[in-house]
Structure 1
Amino acid sequence: MGPVISTDEALRLLSGGSPPVMLDVRWRLTGPSGRADHEAGHLPGAVFVDLDNELADPAGSGGRHPLPNPTALQESLRAAGVCAGRPVLVYDADNGSVAARAWWLLRWAGHEHVRVLDGGYAAWVSEQRPVSTDQPSPERGDFEVVGGHMPVVELDRVGSLAREGTLLDARAPERYRGETEPIDPRAGHVPGAVNAPFTGHIDEYGRWRSPEELADRFRALGVDESRPVAAYCGSGVTACSVLLAWEQAGLSREGDRPALFPGSWSQWSSDPGRPAATGAEPG
């Protein structure tokens, strides 16, 4: 069973006797919080979780969205009703790139049953599924965060990993090439990184590609599964969709999953001593 769940399957679970905990993690890189979107309509029973304040520590030397303090993350998840023995369903606005961050964090924290809604809220609404504006008051959860169940690669190891294995850059091609940089200190990419835009995991209808298509995409990118693999983006959010795609493709092996570079380009580019490559080639 892959981590991506169809709207049909999600509806069956929500209609059953033991529905999953639902987390609405809609978010924008620039603009207001997704809370207003949540209040305007959400899956019945879904609890809003704010990426900036609950799924990340404050911006600083670790980048724009460092991994959250485990104690703070545990409090946020418990307040949302997350329990160790109850499945969790997360969704975002559409393409799963933000929901993937919540999925990855929950897996990193030790939760084993986390799914991402295929197509997000947009798909749910387009199929005229039930929505609600009621604000739920979930029973407090008991989930205990124990970090480290998903691998990370830290700043000082990233450069060598790009040489020894495959470092995937999930940002848009123009940011990878260094033609534009809307938010971080410098333009370009980590030398040796391969561009793997997160939008490539999604088809023209906004749904996740099949496991076979995802596996083919990783092979087309030149990923050697026998060598280390890691992913980064601007701040460690959309890179998680690369890791989700890897899992959905069935490429993960227990104890041998690709790593996340949490600080991503926002951390790398803030250090003037770190080189930056430009152009379409890894460099």
Structure 2
Amino acid sequence: MRPPVLVPAAELLAETAGDRPPVLLDVRWALGDPDGRGHYRRGHIPTAVYVDLDTELASPAGPSGGRHPLPDPAALQRHARRWGITADRPVVVYDDAGGLAAARAWWLLRWAGVADVRLLDGSLAAWRAAGGPLAEGEETAAAPGDIVLSPGRLPVLTADRAAELPSYGVLLDARAGERYRGESEPVDAKAGHIPGAVSAPTAENLDAGGRFAEAEQSRKRFAALGVGDDTAVGVYCGSGVTAAHQIAALAAAGIDAALYPGSWSAWSADPRRPVATGPRPGEPLAGAGIHDRESLGGER
């Protein structure tokens, strides 16, 4: 059976008062807002440990790896132990932006072999609405964790595989529509999208209340984008952060997907890579190889 992706605030509130409370990770981060730790200190879920996305959930930026390359596995294990993660306790991650940043921690921990990790559905706003208390200041884990991570449990795409994917599956671009179309590019080297990619803005993963859309609604949305029961699916965004949110939405709807970690920040920095613009998918690369769904990998 698929592990659950989401936890409702009321359920989390009960779990925190139970005999086996989860490890809580606060992943406050937003592009252009460097004060995530300050937001955490001003109010967080009690016992939650702050996680710095830029330094703990990514390696240093570089042209080949993009703005948020995957972290070194040994470093990620050290951080996970500092956060208090053990082999026998569940983990819940959250932020204050619909899970857009926290999903990076969810994906990385699942990729590294932590099976019981969930996203707080509705983020901190849902916790407050459920009557959950807030704590101030900085917290550390009650005891160091002992988790042994085993990376590679979720599939990833190289740039070459991302280029090929539209020829036999669906490559979703999770950025805002204007960035996909090439009308605006506030961060990366070029405007546009990977040829053959389909626009699927991350914001559409959420309902008006900031919670993930119901699974059936998500399945219909992704089906309209070409995702069927046996479709190979890949996702990218600007730097591999919000693409993890898209993968979480797909997983909650029962659909597996691979992440292109370098995403547009790495693709657009490589002068060898073609760029498409406009509202519809550009042409896939000529001569792209054909690979079956199994070749994308999966949890193993």
Cα root mean square deviation, aligned: 1.1
d(CA) in 2 for partners of 1:137, 1:191: 45
Secondary structure of 1:231's partner? strand
Query: What displacement does 1:33 show?
Result: 3.3
Within the alignment, does 1:40 sit opposite 2:39 as a pair? no
Give the letter for the 1:117 counterpart: L
Q: Which structure 2 residue ranges, 5 or more long, are not aligned?
A: 283-300
Report what 2:23 is aligned to.
21
**8 Å contact kept, 1:194–1:221:** yes
The one of 92, 95, 99 equivalent to 1:92 is 95
Secondary structure of 1:214's partner? helix
Within the alignment, does 1:132 sit opposite 2:142 as a pair? no
d(CA) in 2 for partners of 1:62, 1:9: 38
d(CA) in 1 for partners of 2:34, 2:184: 23
The one of 76, 81, 93 equivalent to 1:78 is 81
Report what 1:220 is aligned to.
224
Query: What displacement does 1:132 show?
Result: 0.4
Report what 2:263 is aligned to.
264
Within the alignment, does 1:63 sit opposite 2:62 as a pair? no
d(CA) in 1 for partners of 2:14, 2:125: 18
Secondary structure of 1:190's partner? coil
Identity %: 53
**8 Å contact kept, 2:99–2:122:** yes
**8 Å contact kept, 1:165–1:224:** no
Residues 125-164 of structure 1 show CA distances to partners (whole Å, capped at 9, x for unaligned) of 3444200014323110011111100000011211111222
d(CA) in 2 for partners of 1:102, 1:237: 9
How do 1:93-242 and structure 2 match up within 5 A?
93-138=96-141, 139-242=143-246
The one of 242, 245, 249 equivalent to 1:245 is 249
**8 Å contact kept, 1:101–1:238:** yes
Q: Which structure 1 residue ranges, 5 or more long, are not aligned?
A: 252-256
**8 Å contact kept, 2:10–2:127:** no
Secondary structure of 2:54's partner? helix
Give the letter for the 2:236 counterpart: Y
Secondary structure of 2:11's partner? helix
TM-score with structure 2 setting the length: 0.90
d(CA) in 1 for partners of 2:129, 2:257: 33
**8 Å contact kept, 2:58–2:69:** yes
Report what 1:254 is aligned to.
none
d(CA) in 2 for partners of 1:137, 1:199: 32
Secondary structure of 2:118's partner? strand
TM-score with structure 1 setting the length: 0.96
Give the letter for the 1:17 counterpart: D
Query: What displacement does 1:206 show?
Result: 0.9
Deviating above 3 A after TM superposition, structure 1's stretches of 4 or more consecutive aligned residues are none
Give the letter for the 2:54 counterpart: D
Residues 153-210 of structure 1 show CA distances to partners (whole Å, capped at 9, x for unaligned) of 0112111112221000000000000000000000000000001111111011111111
Aligned length: 278
d(CA) in 2 for partners of 1:242, 1:234: 12
- Identify the range of structure 1 (217-226 vs 108-117) with the bigger mean alpha-carbon deviation: 217-226
- Identify the range of structure 1 (52-61 vs 117-126) with the bigger mean alpha-carbon deviation: 117-126
